[in-house]
Amino acid sequence: MSRYARPVDFKHGKVDLTHGSGGRAMAQLIDELFVRHFDNPILDSMNDGACFALPAGAGRMVMATDGHVVSPLFFPGGDIGCLSVHGTVNDVAMAGGRPLYLSAGFILEEGFPLADLKRIVVSMADAAREAGVPIVTGDTKVVEQGKVDGVFITTTGVGVVPDGIELGPDRIRPGDCILLSGCIGDHGVAILSKRENLSFETEIQSDTAALHTLTAAMLDAVPSIRALRDPTRGGLSAVLNEFAGQSGCGIAIREKDIPIRGEVAAACELLGLDPLHVANEGKLVAVCPPEDAERLLAVMRAHPLAAGAAIIGTAIVDPQHFVQMETVFGGRRMVDWLTGEQLPRIC
pLDDT at 1: 64
- CB-based contact 222:164 (threshold 8 Å): no
Query: Closest Cα partner for 161 from 247, 228, 239?
Result: 228
Mean pLDDT of all residues in 237-251: 97
Residues in contact with 297: Cβ distance below 8 Å, sequence separation at least 6, in sequence order:
179, 309, 310, 311
Q: Does position 244 have pLDDT exceeding 80, yes or no?
A: yes
For 319, the 3-state DSSP assignment is coil
CA atoms within 13 A on the CB side of 233: 16
Band (pLDDT 50/70/90 cuts) for residue 20 is: very high
Q: Interhelix angle for 293-301 vs 212-221, to 10°?
A: 140
Q: Does position 58 have pLDDT exceeding 90, yes or no?
A: no
Q: Does position 101 have pLDDT exceeding 70, yes or no?
A: yes
pLDDT digits (tens, 9 = 90+) for 72-89: 999 999 999 999 999 999
* Topology at the third CATH level for domain 14-161: 60s Ribosomal Protein L30; Chain: A; (3.30.1330)
pLDDT digits (tens, 9 = 90+) for 183-235: 999 999 999 888 888 777 778 999 999 999 999 999 999 999 999 999 999 99
pLDDT digits (tens, 9 = 90+) for 290-308: 999 999 999 999 999 999 9
Of the chain, the percentage scoring pLDDT greater than 90 comes to 88
Q: Does position 96 have pLDDT exceeding 90, yes or no?
A: yes
Q: Which CATH code for domain 169-334?
A: 3.90.650.10
pLDDT at 113: 98
Mean pLDDT of all residues in 320-341: 93
Q: What is the pTM of this model?
A: 0.96
pLDDT at 56: 83
* Cα–Cα distance, 347 to 342 (Å, whole number): 13
Continuous segment of H or E residues that includes residue 140: strand 135-143
- Taking all residues of the chain, what is their mean pLDDT, rounded to a whole number? 95
Where in the chain is CATH 3.30.1330.10?
A: 14-161
* Cα–Cα distance, 43 to 24 (Å, whole number): 19
* Cα–Cα distance, 265 to 271 (Å, whole number): 10
